[in-house]
Amino acid sequence: MDLLRFATAGSVDDGKSTLIGRLLLDSKSIFEDQLEAVEATSHSRGYDYTDLALLTDGLRSEREQGITIDVAYRYFATPSRKFIIADTPGHIQYTRNMVTGASTADLGLVLVDARQGLTEQSRRHAVLLSLLRVPHLVLAINKMDLVDWDQDIYEKIHDEFTNFATKLSIPDLAVIPISALKGDNVVTRSENTPWYHGPTLMHHLEHVHVASDRDLVDTRFPVQYVVRPKSDEYHDYRGYAGQVAGGVLKKGDEVVVLPSGMTSTIEGIDLFDREVDEAFPPMSVTVRLSDDVDVSRGDMIARVKNAPKPSQDIDAMICWMTNEPLRPRQKLAIKHTTRMGRAMVKEIQYRLDVNTLHRDQETKELGLNEIGRVQLRTTVPLLCDPYSKNRTTGSFILIDEATGVTVGAGMINSGS
């Protein structure tokens, strides 16, 4: 069985919580005590239906206000696949939460209300998912029951969105007409849409091919931890532990350790107490080298003829996540793979309007939830790739050194 991570997006009243409730309910992932609690609360509030949104709004303040304020993660499984949903609120602070949820997603699910058609919000979500390189996108056109299952409405939204998506980087798009409330085309095929020949939403989620979304060519192994047992039995053992970020590591491979540039050969790859011949993403393994080269946390093991260039000048898209704006000359802590350093903002080149894709070059700063192209100078060289090639070696976070809070998410265009 494999795993699919997907992030949901959508505006406040487009039925997102209802859809998630429906997916959980129909895949039998809701337990009786949870459903009873939701029924009791719905009843005590005087609703005349069971509000499935109560299943997903977990915090007291969310229930009080009836809104979702933060990303929540939910789980369900079908006989063929396990799913992790990053349920991101469509409300204020959308960008920060969307970026958080989408950073680990294989698929993005954008919901629109068939009566409203595409909104600014739907376009914005598509832009963000494309920027975060989420490889698969589903546009679920919801509340089809409220437009009498009108094929023309479906076609119109479908075409408008497909047209818009050509400007973005969306390798795989599916458009599905549904009714989350009634369950049409969610898990079971609807009799109300004889003109629709695609899969149901659940069928699509179960079958979309995600294994090929990794880079298996460019070997990248950020060293996380040096294992030195200092025991009699393993007296000379020295292993470099980490999670493979790209490519396939093989016993006998010639490798280079960055940033030192020392070369060696992979003597063995350990997976706990057994040795394996190969390691690939996202395996966590321990690598032994034949030579006694100096390797420590933050270094990277790559292939001799295919290694990232260490770089202190970074060109990246940054999503800013805090109230105090990002300004030129600002200094921040940066974490990239297992490497920590400091970074200074050299230039803010433009602010991207995620609604229109317009690049505002007059801007002097980036405010909360804004995205822009920024040049950074770092104290330590980053061993990076473009984010479009590798989501692990192409991403970083920025940390406010005074408060310790994560204030920015970065996607590298290039290093030089």
Which 198-237 positions form the footprint of another protein (CB under 8 A)? 211-212, 214, 216-217, 224-225, 227-231, 233-234, 237
47 is an interface residue for another protein by CB under 8 A: no
| Minimum CB distance to another protein smaller for 173 or for 333 | 333
380 is an interface residue for another protein by CB under 8 A: no
Binding-site member from 280, 309, 312, 365 for another protein (CB under 8 A): 280
Continuous segment of H or E residues that includes residue 177: strand 172-177
Closest distance to another protein from the beta carbon of 335 (Å): 5
| Minimum CB distance to another protein smaller for 72 or for 258 | 72
Binding-site member from 270, 313, 353, 365 for another protein (CB under 8 A): 270
Continuous segment of H or E residues that includes residue 4: strand 2-9
- Three-class SS state of 293: coil
Q: Is the dihedral of CA 124, 129, 130, 135 positive or negative?
A: negative
CA count, 13 A, side-chain hemisphere, 370: 22
Tokens of 392: 């692990």
Residues 110-149: x where in contact with another protein by CB under 8 A, - otherwise, as a string = ----------------------------------------
Binding-site member from 16, 17, 18, 74 for another protein (CB under 8 A): 74
| Minimum CB distance to another protein smaller for 333 or for 380 | 333
Contact 400, 322 (CB under 8 A): yes
Number of residues engaging another protein in binding (CB under 8 A) = 78
Q: What is the CA radius of gyration of the chain?
A: 24
- Those residues whose C-beta lies under 8 Å from the C-beta of residue 98, and which sit 6 or more positions away, are 7, 9, 88, 125, 128, 129
Binding-site member from 43, 45, 82, 207 for another protein (CB under 8 A): 82
284 is an interface residue for another protein by CB under 8 A: yes
d(CA 399, CA 341): 10
d(CA 393, CA 388): 10
Chain positions 320 to 379 lying near another protein, rule: CB under 8 A, are: 321, 333, 335-336, 338
By CB neighbour count within 10 A (0-12 exposed, 13-18 middle, 19+ buried), where does 246 fall? buried
Binding-site member from 34, 65, 263, 388 for another protein (CB under 8 A): 34
Closest distance to another protein from the beta carbon of 393 (Å): 10
d(CA 113, CA 121): 11
92 is an interface residue for another protein by CB under 8 A: no
80 is an interface residue for another protein by CB under 8 A: no
293 is an interface residue for another protein by CB under 8 A: no
Q: Rounded to the nearest 10 degrees, how much is the dihedral formed by the CA atoms of 95, 97, 99, 100?
A: 160
Neighbours of 262 (CB within 10 A): 15
**CA separation, residue 196 to residues 163, 187, 248, 358 (Å):** 20, 15, 41, 35
- Three-class SS state of 299: coil
Binding-site member from 84, 147, 153, 368 for another protein (CB under 8 A): 84
| Minimum CB distance to another protein smaller for 143 or for 336 | 336
Closest distance to another protein from the beta carbon of 392 (Å): 7
103 is an interface residue for another protein by CB under 8 A: yes
Chain positions 381 to 400 lying near another protein, rule: CB under 8 A, are: 391-392, 395-397, 399
Tell me whether strands 300-303 and 359-360 are parallel, antiparallel or unpaired: unpaired
Contact 280, 244 (CB under 8 A): yes
DSSP state, residue 19: H
96 is an interface residue for another protein by CB under 8 A: yes
26 is an interface residue for another protein by CB under 8 A: no
Residue 254, amino acid? E
Contact 321, 406 (CB under 8 A): yes
Residue 350, amino acid? Y
| Minimum CB distance to another protein smaller for 152 or for 292 | 292
| Minimum CB distance to another protein smaller for 194 or for 404 | 404
Closest distance to another protein from the beta carbon of 282 (Å): 5
| Minimum CB distance to another protein smaller for 281 or for 367 | 281
304 is an interface residue for another protein by CB under 8 A: no
Binding-site member from 14, 51, 57, 370 for another protein (CB under 8 A): 57
Tell me whether strands 278-279 and 254-258 are parallel, antiparallel or unpaired: unpaired
| Minimum CB distance to another protein smaller for 273 or for 292 | 273
3 is an interface residue for another protein by CB under 8 A: yes
